[in-house]
A and B are shown apart, each in its own frame.
Chain A
């Protein structure tokens, strides 16, 4: 009886066809017409690398690339991006090898707890796709919509700079810039460990 009196305020989650290319693969799922892209990606497509931090577009953890442009998936209705080409953090590597930006975030301390990292990676990959030679200021502007509570951003900017250098083909080394000691053996092994000519 009480059930009859109740008037639902929330539309029933009626399924509606939603299709898009996610990380290069076509997806077709049923999603409510009021679903936000973040929920569809996490709950239906299964790209759990897209993180939910705030629901209000303030933290940037849910950033994905939509047709090459970084956007907040929590503020995007799934219906708005029917048929779009969406890239999440899972799509940055080619499946076998990490993208330079991913490698550099690891080697330069750009990721600590890692929760904001997917958003940062997507935002900075979008920057590097447009600009292979960004200044630190340009990098800061590219990630200004992303909050990080662990790193204080400095090592994130270092990471993106290092990745940009790899994109430009300038640098193949992945050693962090903040190496405490210079490479102790720049020209190969120093201390001979085998007596010369030793053989049995």
Chain B
């Protein structure tokens, strides 16, 4: 472990009385030189896989990167490489960029939900002393949007404002108070329009839809996207042995990152734009700026500052970034715009408020014969990532269970509220909660243990889901077994006294999106990493991976250090500027570790091969028998025969100068051909299982979560400290959504809690103890076996808590968040329905195992062995969803089952029985070009 010092010179062993370190010698010992006494650290065999002679267990067998392990740093708990900057206050976030001569920008926001701008008069603004530049929507008519298919945003409103807080105009002034004052001097004539707040109303025709979708517009509705997907044999659901039907209302939640958005724009003397912004995806901003400003991308340098939390909320290109650039161009001076907390809620992009209807069925053998999901999601004023969210709400429920059939209808509608977008666990969280609670309910109907029900219905490693996702590594079973054991589940479930409960929930999430949004992966890779090594031996890594606190910079540095067997202090990752970073899609879809670390490994191997070739020339031994360890390259069978890293480096540089190498990652071809088949495709998937324990105050309805056992399959923990941090942090965010957090829109449609006092993020006192359990399934394509750990761990906490609340009070609640008033009224209804007087009279639910329990346990045991063989890839036969139902995996299912369907549009006879969101399919696409650019 690297010791921490603010300036070089401290020795880790010398600590003063007050705890501060005393200056001592350099912590870099002399490198393992090639002399007679090479001072080399021994190879750390505990971190070298057993498959290549080390002692690290590899239950899943060989991995392609095993030979690249040097035992240097992968798998060790290390601090983030940028943590020194963070603990000294030197990390520079958006608002910390202060350029000389800066102006302060402020944004005028709409006071109306929905209105047409008839005129804007800026003359009084311009006359105010101290105002340097003013801009309105007319200055930037070009549309942008995060997805190429739904570009529906402007820098500032061009003709209509679409929600309270929508951008109308902006000013740049010499100081903040002048800029704020200037905002009151705009003279605007409005024509108010009839707003839509309720997403259910959004399905109906409207005089003035919030946007027009051109030829794809559905009648005159506000539907932005509708989805229909059906797979499998729907006849299986006709005669269920157990069935659950749940109607859920989930309110919107916000990312709640602590750093408000901020941006600094500056046109340099050569006329190039330098834009400093805390962005998860600087590349999208780069593209959007180019479109909006009519400036080629090569004349723009997007500089990602440190990001004070993202969670999906800083992944769209934002209108205020455009505003800053426009104001800077007009004024000829740097412009800084910093949001206050209220503005953060106006730009939103949080989780969609959703109405989710889930019908589930199981057959007499306890197999899950069907999921029927209907999701109506409230998109707010703009499309953002909504196109994708509409799919994710359904398709990410197709695993980890083997399904007899799957049916999904989804619709995303525009409403006059701040736009929803991507948030940690994008699109999967709400449906996952509904599905997992449905499983709990079916288990109760069948008198079986819900964990055993899950264990007997899991898809194995190396399988294909019903919708065609390719699952590689799969640690679901181990995760379930470990939380069951860790939480003493078998001695608690359905046995705790009234008011105390325990519940289970599982999760499934993508590890990187299989399709880059803006290009064909066949023509351009997902991620590229460049490495340069100059004479001093320091390794500079250029990557566009955006570190938003999750530690992507650390992950990239770690894998490079591992391959080259160098101390991590010698690896310098440069990822801030688009001028120096190869194009990268940044931090979303949990792609960074998987894709960038893979690319970084390839680049590092490129450098390593050049070093080994030089060592070969110096030593006469072929690279196959050379070993890298601690800045030294030596002969495998006689460690004394070797050269130092620097010697090999200088030899390798003899003719070429600095060594350079690049590596790229692209996902393999995957997926089906149906419409929407690309949504949810990923090169790997993560799995997780949580058990939560809650206390419910049956008088007041107050829930406190006391303990969580959280097992997450991250493939291979490159840095266990960071993985555990992600798991615990995910629990915190998910607990917020399930217990306290909500964006409250009043009857007038106004957001009523746009501040951190009324928007209730759990404090330290609401946080349970989380036992973070890392499950390693060694993904065959992941970097050293790793998969994502940032988003997936959020999913299971919601259903685990909801199920635990049922275990505690016997009441199924389906309105999130479970604030005390929701729980209280649930208890009161339960009392009334069962003719009880007092909450103390409620009987806790109890379980006595039915005949199916034994069958499920036996099947679970059998599948455990099946999974073990498949995980090691000893069993290579195709496992396709449906084998459990007796289908032959080698023949097309449509040939085997009458009525097998794989559809992306409803049949006419289905239209009448579609769910709420499905009603969008009653409308016809019509060509509306009125407002369409």
> Is the Cβ of A51 less than 8 Å from the Cβ of B259?
yes
Return chain A residues, CB-CB under 8 Å to B606.
Answer: none
B725 nearest in chain A by CB position: A109
Let me know if B763 and A144 touch, CB within 8 A.
yes
A180's closest neighbor in chain B, by CB?
Answer: B720
Stretch in B14-22, B654-662, B831-839 touching the partner: B14-22
**Range of interface residues on B (Cβ < 8 Å):** 35 or more
Given contacts A61-B258, A172-B15, A190-B42, contact A113 B549 (CB under 8 A): yes
- Whether A194 pairs with B640 at a CB distance below 8 angstroms is yes
Instruction: Please give the distance in Å from A95's CB to the nearest CB on chain B.
Output: 8
Chain A residue at minimum C-beta to C-beta distance from B311? A149
Q: A102-B88, A176-B77, A191-B43 are in contact. Are A54 and B770 (CB under 8 A)?
A: no
For residue A174, CB closer than 8 A to chain B, the reply is yes
Complex CA distance for A173 and B79, rounded to whole angstroms: 14
Known: A148-B258, A180-B774. A105 touches B83 (CB 8 A): yes
- The stretch of B144-152, B176-184, B216-224 in contact with A is B176-184
Cα-based distance from A56 to B86 in the complex (angstroms): 23
Residues of A within 8 A of B618 (CB): none
Contacts of A175 in B (CB 8 A): 1
A140: nearest chain-B partner, CB-CB: B764
Q: Does A26 contact B (CB under 8 A)?
A: no
- Asked whether, in the complex, the Cβ of B80 is within 8 Å of the Cβ of A111, the reply is yes
Chain B nearest CB: distance from A123 CB in Å?
Answer: 11
Per the CB 8 Å criterion, the residue count for chain A at the interface is: 89
Contact digits for A168-182, partner B, Cβ 8 Å, 1 yes 0 no = 010010111011110
- A107 to nearest B CB, angstroms? 5
Q: Which residues of the other chain, B, contact A153 by a CB distance below 8 angstroms? A: 732, 764, 767
Cα(A111)–Cα(B306), bound, Å: 13
CB of B724 closer than 8 Å to a CB of A: yes
- How many angstroms from the CA of A192 to the CA of B720 in the assembled complex? 28
Instruction: Judge whether B720 and A178 touch: CB under 8 Å.
Output: yes
Q: Does A59 contact B (CB under 8 A)?
A: yes
Contact of B6 among A89, A97, A121 (CB under 8 A): A97
- A111 is contacted by which of B17, B44, B87, B260 (Cβ under 8 Å)? B87
> Which residues does chain A contribute within 8 Å of B732, judged by CB atoms?
149, 151-153
Question: Which chain A residue lies CB-closest to B708?
Answer: A152
Given contacts A8-B181, A56-B341, whether A48 and B258 have CB atoms under 8 Å apart is: no
Chain A residues positioned under 8 Å from B310 (CB to CB): 113
Asked whether A181 and B46 contact (CB < 8 A) given A111-B83, A113-B548, A193-B40, the answer is yes
- Could you tell me the distance between the alpha carbons of A12 and B129 in the complex, rounded to whole angstroms? 12
Q: In the bound complex, how far is the Cα of B40 from the Cα of A198, in angstroms?
A: 14
Within 8 Å of chain A (Cβ to Cβ): is B717?
yes
Chain B stretch 501-532: residues in CB contact (< 8 A) with chain A: none
Known: A112-B549, A153-B732, A193-B42. A97 touches B7 (CB 8 A): yes
Q: State whether A58 touches B755 (Cβ < 8 A).
A: yes
A3 contacts chain B at the CB level, 8 A cutoff? yes
Give per-residue flags for A89-108: 1 if the beta carbon is below 8 A from chain B beta carbons, else 0. 11011111111101101111
Q: In the bound complex, what is the Cα–Cα distance between A140 and B769 (angstroms)? A: 12
Residues of chain B within 8 A (CB-CB) of A166 are 15, 19
Given A53-B341, A143-B764, A175-B1; A109-B87 close (CB under 8 Å): no
Chain B residue with the shortest CB-CB distance to A154: B728
A50 to B88, CA, bound (A): 10
Assess whether B733 is interfacial by the CB under 8 Å rule: yes
Q: Is the pair B763, A53 in contact by a Cβ cutoff of 8 Å?
A: no
Which of A98, A143, A192 meets B42, CB within 8 Å?
A192
Contact (A50, B89) CB under 8 Å given A152-B728, A155-B725, A180-B717: yes
Contact flags B532-557 to A (C-beta < 8 A → 1, else 0): 00000000000000001111000000
Given contact pairs A3-B129, A143-B764, A174-B4, A115 touches B257 in the complex (Cβ within 8 A): yes
**Complex: A192 Cα to B41 Cα, angstroms:** 10
Q: CA–CA, A25 to B15, complex, Å?
A: 26
B897 on interface, CB distance cutoff 8 Å: no
**CB neighbours of B551 from chain A (8 A):** 112
CB A41 to nearest CB in B, in angstroms, measures 11
Chain B residue nearest to A181 (CB atoms) is: B46
Chain A's nearest CB lies how many Å from the CB of B132? Answer: 15
- Are A89 and B88 neighbours in the complex by a CB distance under 8 Å? yes
Q: Is chain A's interface secondary structure helix, strand, loop, or mixed overall?
A: loop
Interface 0/1 of B332-374, CB less than 8 Å to A: 0000001011000000000000000000000000000000000
Q: Counting CB contacts under 8 A, is A30 at the interface? A: no
Q: Of the candidates B1, B23, B80, B341, which one forms a contact with A96 in the assembled complex, judged by CB atoms under 8 Å apart?
A: B23
Our pick among B90, B640, B717, B730 for the contact of A195 (Cβ within 8 Å) is B640
Residues of A within 8 A of B177 (CB): 10-13
Cα distance, A185 to B19, chains bound together (Å)? 26
Query: B648 on the interface (CB 8 Å rule)?
Result: no
Query: Would you give the shortest CB distance from A35 to chain B, in whole angstroms?
Result: 10
Chain B residues near A111 (CB-CB < 8 A): 80, 83, 86-87
Is B12 at the interface (CB under 8 A from chain A)?
Answer: yes
CB distance from A26 to the nearest CB of B (A): 20
Assuming the contacts A88-B89, A152-B732, asked whether A115 and B717 have C-beta atoms less than 8 A apart, the reply is: no
Docked Cα-Cα span, A199 to B640, in Å, equals 9
* Contact B180 A114, beta carbon cutoff 8 Å: no
Q: Decide yes or no whether A33 CB sits under 8 A from chain B.
A: no
Identify the interface centre among A90, A107, A163, A175: most chain B CB within 10 Å of its CB.
A107
A100 in contact with B20 (CB, 8 Å):
yes
- Bound CA span A47–B70, Å: 42
Most buried by A among B10, B21, B22: B21
Q: Is the CB of A184 within 8 A of B764?
A: no
- Are A147 and B761 within 8 A (Cβ)? yes
Return the chain B residue nearest A90 by Cβ.
B89
- Indicate if A79 sits at the interface (CB-CB under 8 A): no
Q: Given the complex of chains A and B, what is the CA–CA distance between A128 and B10 in angstroms?
A: 23
* Closest beta carbon of chain A to B796's beta carbon, Å: 15
B761 pairs with A149, CB closer than 8 A: yes
B257 contacts across to A, CB distance below 8 A: 113, 115, 149
A118 at the interface (CB under 8 A from B): yes
Q: Determine whether A116 belongs to the interface, using a CB cutoff of 8 Å to chain B.
A: yes
Which B residues are in CB contact (< 8 Å) with A59? 258, 756
Structural contact, A10 and B88, CB atoms closer than 8 A: no
B460 at the interface (CB under 8 A from A): no
| Distance in Å: Cβ of B54 to nearest Cβ of chain A | 10
Contact A169 B17 (CB under 8 A): yes
Q: Do the beta carbons of A106 and B755 come within 8 Å of each other?
A: no
B47 at the interface (CB under 8 A from A): yes
Among A11, A48, A49, A152: residue with most chain B CB under 10 A: A152
- Closest partner residue, chain B, to A157 (CB atom): B764
Indicate if B124 sits at the interface (CB-CB under 8 A). Answer: yes
Note all chain B residues with C-beta closer than 8 A to A189.
41-42
B239 at interface (Cβ–Cβ under 8 A)?
no
CB distance from B609 to the nearest CB of A (A): 23
Cα distance A163–B128 in the bound complex, in angstroms: 53
- List residues of chain A with CB within 8 A of the CB of B5: 97-98
Q: Residues of B with Cβ closer than 8 Å to A?
A: 1, 3-7, 9-10, 12-13, 15, 17-23, 36-38, 40-47, 75-77, 79-80, 82-93, 95-96, 98, 123-124, 127-129, 175, 177, 180-181, 184-185, 255-260, 306-311, 338, 340-341, 548-551, 629, 638-640, 717, 720-722, 724-725, 728-733, 755-757, 761, 763-765, 767, 769-770, 772, 774
A and B contact pairs by CB, cutoff 8 A, 6 listed: A55-B341, A113-B86, A151-B732, A152-B728, A184-B44, A194-B38
What 7 pairs between A and B have smallest CB-CB spacing?
A49-B89, A113-B549, A115-B308, A114-B86, A152-B732, A106-B83, A184-B46
In addition to A89-B87, A113-B307, A174-B4, 15 A-B residue pairs with Cβ atoms within 8 Å of each other are A6-B185, A52-B338, A95-B6, A97-B6, A98-B87, A112-B551, A113-B549, A114-B306, A114-B549, A115-B306, A117-B87, A150-B309, A152-B733, A155-B724, A194-B38
Residues of A within 8 A of B (CB): 2-3, 6, 8-13, 47-56, 58-59, 61, 88-90, 92-100, 102-103, 105-109, 111-118, 121, 140, 143-144, 146-157, 163, 166-167, 169, 172, 174-176, 178-181, 184-185, 189-195, 198-200
